[in-house]
């Protein structure tokens, strides 16, 4: 007979990141107890600072690539994990900083292999429902005919490319999920998330929208990493979080689900909208393409719409206004936090923990 409890215990890895912090906020609002696990390599405590005083929230600084036991943390005693366990695990942890990608390649490799194993083993220990935040990059480059990509498409990724530890790593992590589901009967969900924007994105990391807005407010040059033809889909973060939560709540097998926007937006038009909304006199400057700032395919959302009843609701102009208002209200704090992160010493490369030969 399962234990009786008044609130779910939910773990969010990468919970201090951009999407993760919004997810933690949503889960708390829904009445859950939330354990946020993050090593802060590409995230920030500033994203969750407003949650730290909530008695149903706890932050644990931990690298998921190393073995850890939730029951050994005294600060988690109020969650009564020994009695109640963990009901749901949202696994979002993976370094993502386009401009600093080369500095975190080993951590990315470990997150998509050792980290995935550790998180799935945790789910297996507590028989928790598990959701993996995968990515649209598992499909490879944008199709030449620009058709909407269905979940059934196998994609094409170069396993030896400079960014393979992320792209192929995410594909391997999905294989981890499907294998644990088949062998151990775990309830596993895979969300393939397309390009997302919103408050709390990292500044000056190549994430486009936050840098566009900050530079527009300061009347500085706005850099587009590409040419006039660069376009992308953009989905507001609260829509993505809503899709993730709905996917976790799906009963039974569903397979991977695309979450994102299927509207192709010229980035030049997005910048023009920002200039108009801020009254900025910034110039637009085109720069060489970054490894992670490239045109991506657009999602076919049929499964999300028909199975989950989900579709993006926040229009671009509304989403941009929210970020502009957020940036104007927190500008000094955002700059100070960025400067502090630049001055902080680089995170050491994680050591590979011992793995018994009988496992994976």
Q: State the catalytic residues.
A: 166
**In the chain, what is the straight-line distance between the N-terminal and C-terminal CA atoms, in Å?**
31
DSSP per-residue string spanning 214-267: HHHHTTPPEEEES-TT-EE--EEHHHHHHHHHHHHT--S----EEES----EEH
Going by DSSP bridges, is the β-strand pair 265-266/231-232 parallel, antiparallel, or unpaired? antiparallel
Q: Which of 324, 346, 338 is nearest to 277 (CA)?
A: 324
Q: What CA–CA distances, in Å, run from 337 to 21, 201, 202, 206?
A: 16, 12, 10, 17
Q: Is 37 helix (H, G, I), strand (E, B) or coil?
A: strand
Cα 68 to the chain's mean position, in Å? Answer: 22
Q: Give the chain's largest Cα–Cα span.
A: 65
Adjacent-strand bridge partners of 284: 222
CB 298 within 8 A of CB 233: yes
Q: What CA–CA distances, in Å, run from 116 to 86, 133, 163?
A: 17, 11, 18
CB 308 within 8 A of CB 258: no
Burial state string for 279-309 with b = 16 or more CB within 10 A and e = fewer than 16: ebebeeeeeeeeebbbbbbbbbbebbeeebe
């Amino acid at each position: 007979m399962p234990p009786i409890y008044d609130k779910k215990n939910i773990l969010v890895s990468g919970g201090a990141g951009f999407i993760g912090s919004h997810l933690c906020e949503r889960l708390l609002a829904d009445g859950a107890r939330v354990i946020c696990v993050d090593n802060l390599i590409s995230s920030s405590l500033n994203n969750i600072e407003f949650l730290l005083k909530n008695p149903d929230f706890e932050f644990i600084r931990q690298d998921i690539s190393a073995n850890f036991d939730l029951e050994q943390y005294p600060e988690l005693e109020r969650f009564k994990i020994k009695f109640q366990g963990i009901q749901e695990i949202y696994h979002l942890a993976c370094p993502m900083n386009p401009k600093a990608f080369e500095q975190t390649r080993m951590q990315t490799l470990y997150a998509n292999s050792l980290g995935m194993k550790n998180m799935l083993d945790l789910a297996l220990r507590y028989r928790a429902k598990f959701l993996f935040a995968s990515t649209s990059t598992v499909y490879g480059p944008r199709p030449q005919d620009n058709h909407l990509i269905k979940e059934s498409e196998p994609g094409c990724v170069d396993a030896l490319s400079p960014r393979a530890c992320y792209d192929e790593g995410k594909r391997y992590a999905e294989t981890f999920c499907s294998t644990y589901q088949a062998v151990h009967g775990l309830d596993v969900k895979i969300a393939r998330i397309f390009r997302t924007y919103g408050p709390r994105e990292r500044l000056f990391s190549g994430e486009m929208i936050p840098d566009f807005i900050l530079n527009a407010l300061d009347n500085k040059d706005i850099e587009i990493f590409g040419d006039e033809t660069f376009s992308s889909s953009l989905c507001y973060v609260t829509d993505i979080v809503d899709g993730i939560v709905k996917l976790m709540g799906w009963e039974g097998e569903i397979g991977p689900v695309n979450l994102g926007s299927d509207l192709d937006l010229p980035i030049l038009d997005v910048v023009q909208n920002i200039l108009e909304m801020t009254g900025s006199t910034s110039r637009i400057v085109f720069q060489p393409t970054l490894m992670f700032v490239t045109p991506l395919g657009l999602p076919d959302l049929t499964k999300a719409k028909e199975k989950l009843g989900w579709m993006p609701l926040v229009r671009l102009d509304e989403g941009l206004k929210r970020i502009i208002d957020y940036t104007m209200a927190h500008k000094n704090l955002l700059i100070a936090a960025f400067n502090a992160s630049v001055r902080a010493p680089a995170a050491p490369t994680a050591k590979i923990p011992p793995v018994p030969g009988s496992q994976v």
